[in-house]
Amino acid sequence: MAFPIGPILGGWLLTYYWWGWVFLINVPVIVIGLVAVVALVPESRASSRPQIDFVGVVASARGLVALTYGLIEAGQDGWNDVFALTMMVIGVALLIGFFVWERRLTRRPGGEPLLDLALFESASFTWGMILAVVPILAMLGILFTMPQYFQGVLGTNAMGSGLRLLPLVAGLIVGAVPAAQVVKRVGAKVAVAVGFALLATGLLLGSTMSVGSSGLFVAMWMAIAGLGTGIAMATAMFAALVELSPESSGVGSAVLQAVNKTGGPFGIAILGSVLSAGYLARLHVTGLPTAAAAAARQSIFGGVAVAQQLHSSRLLSTVRAAFVHGMDMALLVSAGFAVVGIVLTILFLPKANT
């Protein structure tokens, strides 16, 4: 029940209260989760206590942190930022070192690696894991651009933005909940491909938006994209984990989550660059004071603020049209991610995943 009301509750808090409450409202949920685990989850133990792979822990953690931080910086400061590129190189190097160490430890007699590389001998796990990331990359086009569209172009507040995201959330739930049954009926290959096709369709429709697009049209394409995301992501995850043994399922789930969390900043870095390039390409600030022009180039919110301060309806229209152009480009790239997902599913995901 918490997921559907999340955008509304978060928007309501941002509109009327301190922004930090958006994070603090998760505390009761965590407490309830802890109580539920203690009360409901049965105890289980390995037959022997494994040793801790300290080298693997440090290398993987630092590698993921460096790579993720570099991607975030690239999205903010551009792909030519030296610090961002350096962090990404360090992160990739550490992760390569991690896999080399895990392979060495796997081959050592009595070795107990943090990551069992035998997981990747399963094509179902490997491609299910990869394909579970692609819907996240594609959906970020919506989550990254639409709140800015609702608030910067339409002029809604944070709560209004949250309400307008509900079609996306509803689609996600409708697509994700029956995922296991869908896979059993048609197989993971068909289910994932259909999910990506719906996601691509929704995003392609979204990429045709204009400043005057109707609310019904926006809700329709977001619901389609949400439905496709829910189907593709849930069925790909099911395909990744269905063939794992109970002993390997915990590590497999952890790998899946780590890859998913890394994919988010990567997608934002790419889509942020596309949105910015499209916005600046259509933004005309010739004749504005230097500070005002710089503020307008920074974001749509800066541009709207400058236009309102100058009481310039022409500049306001230009800023909003420029943002929608950049947003359409970002959504088109997101649709491209979904199309890549279709191709990878058809070519590589095994058929037998029931």
The pLDDT value given to residue 1 = 35
The pLDDT value given to residue 189 = 95
pTM: predicted TM-score of the whole model, two decimal places: 0.86
Backbone angles phi and psi of 154, in degrees to 5: -85, -20
The pLDDT value given to residue 2 = 39
Q: How far is CA 131 from CA 65, 85, 170, 206, in A?
A: 22, 26, 22, 22
The pLDDT value given to residue 28 = 86
The pLDDT value given to residue 41 = 82
> What is the C-alpha end-to-end distance of the chain, expressed in Å?
29
pLDDT digits (tens, 9 = 90+) for 19-45: 777 777 778 888 998 999 889 888 777
Q: How far apart are CA 208 and CA 192, in angstroms?
A: 25
Q: How far apart are CA 270 and CA 248, in angstroms?
A: 33
The pLDDT value given to residue 3 = 43
The pLDDT value given to residue 352 = 58
Intervals of the chain under pLDDT 50: 1-4
Fold of 121-354: Growth Hormone; Chain: A; (1.20.1250)
The pLDDT value given to residue 116 = 84
DSSP 80: T
The pLDDT value given to residue 4 = 44
The pLDDT value given to residue 46 = 65
> What are the b/e assignments for 218-239, b being 16+ CB within 10 Å?
bbebbbbbbbbbbbbbbbbbbb
The pLDDT value given to residue 8 = 67
